[in-house]
Structure 1
């Protein structure tokens, strides 16, 4: 019963991490306009993401535009796109396998096969969580490096956007959910199965032991 609860908790956490990770990948809030001292380095607030950039005017008007060319983007941004899409596809596959291998479903017949499928789903969620972490940590490192680099002009400096912090949280949900799903799907060891059989058959003698004779 406890293992079933771990499976369900792992699936729920992984599903939340998957949905939040999709929002992080689509949000244009990875890089935001930096403040140097107490003043804004630009008259307009700029948001930058993997797929689009937005400009907020002083009047509150927001203008968003997708990037014109994928090839014109920096190499780290192209890699971040690919890793995020790969992580999303792995999460979709892991969710399908996790539902099939859950103990509360009747999709697969053999319990051993269901356990293996659920363990594979947990491993895929763990891999997706690591894939999410790579572009987020890479982008955060580039932002911090450029912010403290005196060779970079102030108008080109950026700060960490809220999408990065949300991405760290979603990665943690995927890692924790995948680990719980894998732990809850572990098949019982041979010792537990033998003890279970012994309890069900108390009259059966152990190996090497003579059966007890009944006297009238």
Structure 2
């Protein structure tokens, strides 16, 4: 019963992590305009994501534009696209594997195989968490580095967007879920207790009457 509860909790954490990955992949808020110095009051703000760049007017209108060419993008954005998509696919596959091999489902009836299936799902979640943490950390490092670049003006500086923090949270949740599955996915011991049975090789000889 305890193993089933842990697996259900890990599945909830995995679903939350998957939602975070989807948000990071779709929402264009990896970098946002920085309002510092004389740039406190502006008529518009800029946002950058993996696929589009958007301009938000002070009236609330938002205009987005897709990046023209994949080859013109920087290495960080190309890698972030690939790693985020692979992370989402790995998370989906891990959740499906965990659901099939969990103790609270009957998809797999062999009790000896279920811990192995849960272990595979845990490794997949660990991989998905690492793959989503790498691009957001890379983006955050480059954004902070460019922010303190003295060659840039205040109007061209960018700050960390919401997706960076969502990506970190999603990665941590997946790492926790994967770690728990790897720790608690152990084969169940048989209830026989390992009692050894001894058999006598000697057969009782029939009684013979001698005259």
CA contact 1:42–1:155 (8 Å) conserved in 2: no
1:197 aligns to 2:203 (yes or no): no
- Aligned residue for 1:212? none
Instruction: Please list, as runs of the form range in 1=range in 2, the aligned pairs for 1:1-216 lying within 5 A after superposition.
Output: 1-37=1-37, 39-40=39-40, 43-188=43-188, 193=190, 196-198=191-193
> Structure 1 residue 38: deviation in Å?
5.9
Kept in 2: contact 1:136–1:168 (CA 8 A):
yes
Partner of 1:214: none
TM-score normalised by L of structure 2: 0.86
Q: 2:39 and 2:51 mapped to 1: Cα distance?
A: 28
Long gaps (5+) in structure 1: 209-216
Q: TM-score, normalised by structure 1?
A: 0.85
Q: Deviations over 1:85-130 (max 9, x none)?
A: 1101111111111111101111123212111111101100011000
What SS does the aligned partner of 2:46 have?
strand
Task: Say if 2:52 and 2:67, in contact at 8 Å, map to a contact too.
Answer: yes
Which ranges of 4 or more aligned residues in structure 1 deviate by more than 4 Å?
A: none
Deviations 1:34-77 (A, max 9, x none): 12236348642001100111101232211112111111111110
The alignment of Structure 1 onto Structure 2 pairs a total of residues equal to: 199
Q: Alignment RMSD, CA only? A: 2.1
**Gaps in structure 2 of 5+ consecutive residues:** 199-211
